[in-house]
Amino acid sequence: MSGAEERSGLKICLFAGALSRGGVRRAFLDLASGFRDLGHSVDLLVLDDAKDEIVIPEGVNLTRVGKRSRQAFLPLIAYLRRNPPDLMITARPYVDIVSLLARRLSGARQTTLVWTFHTSQSHEAVQRSFFRQVLYRIAFLMSHQVEHLVAVSDGVARDLEHSHLPKSPTKRARHVVTIPNPIPIVKLEGMPIPHPWLAPAQGRPFTIVSCGRLVPQKDHETLLAAFALLKLPQSARLLILGDGPLKEQLQLQAVDLGLEGRINFCGHVKAPKAYMQHADLFVSSSQWEGFGLAIAEALTVGCPVVATDCPSGPAELLDHGRYGLMVPPKDPVALAKAMKDTSDGEVPVFLQQELDEALMCFAPRAIAQSYIELLRMRAPEGKGLCSARKDGFGE
């Protein structure tokens, strides 16, 4: 056991660049809370353009290291020289590369560096500009210098190992550890109803919620097509949470499908779980995911889930249909049928206690402890270790 582990508390550094809206931001903020609750000192490094709306967990130290990642290089070297952390966890390739080079130049050899990957690289690659493709390639080539690579799902890990990371002279791929994103289990008692369509009322129409950026990955186009096919005795309603470049296009599609008055584009909301808690169904129509954080949030508040069986996280979260209905991606007929089945009560049967116990494995403290366990795994080729979860949600 290292000297760092013998101390009562470790120094942890989390750095994901600009904490813009999205799953990475939520994951890192929840992870910071998990480390803090375990009694460790946590520094959250952010860029100057981090949004003011971000709520930093109490007891977490916020340090701004520049306006852009390339400007953060010298401040990051100074930070690592001044008080090097025991464990540094990063996300996004530009931050990964800057952090690796800064560690080398600062001489902070005692700092264990962990790169995290939050989406399917093969599917994401087709959306990247040439410059970003080059940036990712450079990061993959440098990855052998990092102690640990972590993926948020087994599918993301397999994709990295088989298709992106350089092979060793023995033709073996670098091992990637799976540690899922943290999922806070928080009761939302006493919160106001977030939307009039979700107010409890006798005969209320079947109300569906979807949450995610309005981008091709989330495939809201298929969701709208499926919703138009959904036939119920009383017309259903759909609340779409999130903003993005496809908003105007999707609004026009909704009009073309004759769905005015039945769909509401709510934009970005601060508490999507409040919508899920009062909805009749949560739907994820993604073409690919890394983890599926919104699916996990719906499960924590007891909202039924229908999701596409896309790479990589949804099947793992739903245990291949054990906790929610799954349909093929880009199949509006199958998606409409699954929504209809849910409205008819034809959903997977499981004990709520069983689901609650499975979700506890994703609690921020448990996930933070999984990262702490990496300090015992100094060899990059070592066997994977994740104390929070192995090979299946419900196992």
What is the per-residue pLDDT across 16-64, written as a single tens digit (0 to 9) for each?
A: 987 776 788 889 999 999 999 999 999 999 886 555 567 889 999 999 8
CA pair distance 307, 326, nearest whole angstrom:
5
Percent share of the chain, pLDDT over 70: 90
CATH 3.40.50.2000 fits 196-356, yes or no: yes
Are 309 and 291 within 8 A, CB to CB? no
What's the full length of the chain, in residues? 395
What is the structure's pLDDT at 123? 83
Closest listed residue to residue 9, CA positions, set 51, 48, 40 = 40
For residue 282, CA distances in Å to 98, 101, 335, 349 come to: 38, 42, 12, 17
Indicate if the alpha-carbon torsion angle 11, 15, 21, 23 is positive or negative: negative
Main-chain phi, psi angles of 121, to 5 degrees: -65, -40
When computed from its CA atoms, the radius of gyration of the chain, rounded to whole angstroms, is 21
CATH architecture of structural domain 3-182+362-376: 3-Layer(aba) Sandwich (3.40)
- Name the more confident of 330 and 171: 330
Per CATH, 3-182+362-376 and 196-356 having the same topology is answered yes
β-pair partners for 91: 116
Whether 149 has a pLDDT exceeding 90, the answer reads: yes
CA pair distance 389, 197, nearest whole angstrom:
37
Q: Mean pLDDT score of the chain, rounded to an integer?
A: 88
Whether 386 has a pLDDT exceeding 50, the answer reads: no
pLDDT in tens, 269-289: 988 999 999 999 999 999 999
pLDDT band at residue 214 under the 50/70/90 scheme: very high
CA pair distance 228, 208, nearest whole angstrom:
13
Whether 126 has a pLDDT exceeding 90, the answer reads: no
pTM greater than 0.85: yes
- Structure-block tokens of residue 129: 């500009």
What is the structure's pLDDT at 49? 56
The residue ranges of every structural domain in the chain are 3-182+362-376, 196-356
CA pair distance 79, 88, nearest whole angstrom:
12
The amino acid sitting at 348 is P
Residue range 368-376: average pLDDT? Answer: 93
What is the structure's pLDDT at 169? 67
pLDDT band at residue 120 under the 50/70/90 scheme: confident
